[in-house]
């Protein structure tokens, strides 16, 4: 029931980090993966890497924050290449500044990249899934969907919104055959967290704060993604699955 053979999975923001790891994991489970990003060079490099390992890979370049561009790209892909059976809304960004000094333009970028993109791509893909009566949408939330930490209040707001948009997607689309869920990663060793990983003081704090006692590795998100992308989660809808080493349940 975890086999994804014959299915096609679009992963936004999949040229590095969590997105690329999830794309690889879905490919290992049998899916054809569709990589997405705004940088054509990085997109080609990521596709080349996965193809070299024998996986079926397609690419679809678009800016996930541009509603019209997303709609046009998805519609053209569905018409010319084939159906998107699984969508992983992974595109995201971070900006760390004390809230009283947080730049308004950075706040707007976070809103567009972390939450508007989930709406844009989710809607464009869901319209085709609804016509087929089936589909899997997985939104990448965060431990900050439930918790807050100093210096990232706007990021926390966007990830809280991802959790609630996921509930809304499930409420509207479950009856039409779609499964809409989210994965909430804790602290993972990724390019987005490179500055924190390199900070001995922060790493020591994190290891003490997390019951598992360490940073997560991106490969540890793959199992959750395959579960939510497969028939194993056929009656799971509107759920946010925390993969965080226990940090969200422990004081």
Is the pLDDT at 27 greater than 90? The verdict is: yes
Instruction: Give the pLDDT confidence of 35-60 residue by residue, as tens digits.
Output: 999 999 999 999 999 999 999 999 99
What is the average pLDDT across 204-224? 97
Catalytic residue among 155, 188, 215, 242: 155
pLDDT classification of 242: cutoffs 50, 70, 90: very high
pLDDT classification of 91: cutoffs 50, 70, 90: very high
Nearest to 134 by CA among 251, 8, 2: 8
Is the pLDDT at 251 greater than 90? The verdict is: no
* SS3 (DSSP) at 32: strand
Residue 44, pLDDT score? 97
Please report the DSSP string for 73-88 in residue order: HHHHHHHHT----EEE
Residue 28, pLDDT score? 98
CA 87 to chain centre: 9
* SS3 (DSSP) at 140: strand
Please name each of the domains of the chain with its CATH number: 8-249 (3.40.50.720)
Take residue 245 and report the two structure tokens written for it. 């080493």
Question: Rounded to an integer, what distance in angstroms lies between the CA atom of residue 226 and that of residue 75?
Answer: 25
pLDDT classification of 73: cutoffs 50, 70, 90: very high
Instruction: Give the pLDDT confidence of 111-159 residue by residue, as tens digits.
Output: 999 999 999 999 999 999 999 999 999 999 999 999 999 999 999 999 9
Describe the crossing of helices 40-52 and 17-28 by its angle, rounded to 10 degrees. Answer: 30
Residue 191, pLDDT score? 83
Residue labelled with tokens 């992983």: 88
Q: Is 155 a catalytic residue?
A: yes
Is the pLDDT at 24 greater than 90? The verdict is: yes
Residue 115, pLDDT score? 98
């Amino acid at each position: 029931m975890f086999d994804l053979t014959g299915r096609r999975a679009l992963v936004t923001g999949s040229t590095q980090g969590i997105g690329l790891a999830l794309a690889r994991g879905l490919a290992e489970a049998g899916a054809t993966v569709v990589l997405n990003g705004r940088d054509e060079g990085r997109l080609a490099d990521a596709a080349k890497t996965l193809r070299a390992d024998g996986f079926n890979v397609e690419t679809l370049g678009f800016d996930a924050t541009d509603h019209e561009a997303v709609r046009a790209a998805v519609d053209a892909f569905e018409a010319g290449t084939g159906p998107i059976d699984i969508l992983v809304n992974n595109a995201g960004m971070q900006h760390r500044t004390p809230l009283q000094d947080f730049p308004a333009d950075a706040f707007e970028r976070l809103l567009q990249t972390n939450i508007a993109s989930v709406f844009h791509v989710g809607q464009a893909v869901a319209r085709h899934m609804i016509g087929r009566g089936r589909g899997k949408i997985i939104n990448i939330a965060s431990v900050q969907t439930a918790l807050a930490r100093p210096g990232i209040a706007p990021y926390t707001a966007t990830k809280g919104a991802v959790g609630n948009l996921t509930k809304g997607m499930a409420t509207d689309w479950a009856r039409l055959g779609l499964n809409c869920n989210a994965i909430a990663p804790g602290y993972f060793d990724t390019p987005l967290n490179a500055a924190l990983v390199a900070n001995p003081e922060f790493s020591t704090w994190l290891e003490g704060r997390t019951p598992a006692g360490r940073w997560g590795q991106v490969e540890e998100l793959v199992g959750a993604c395959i579960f939510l992308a497969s028939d194993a989660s056929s009656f799971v809808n509107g759920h946010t699955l925390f993969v965080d080493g226990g940090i969200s349940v422990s004081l």
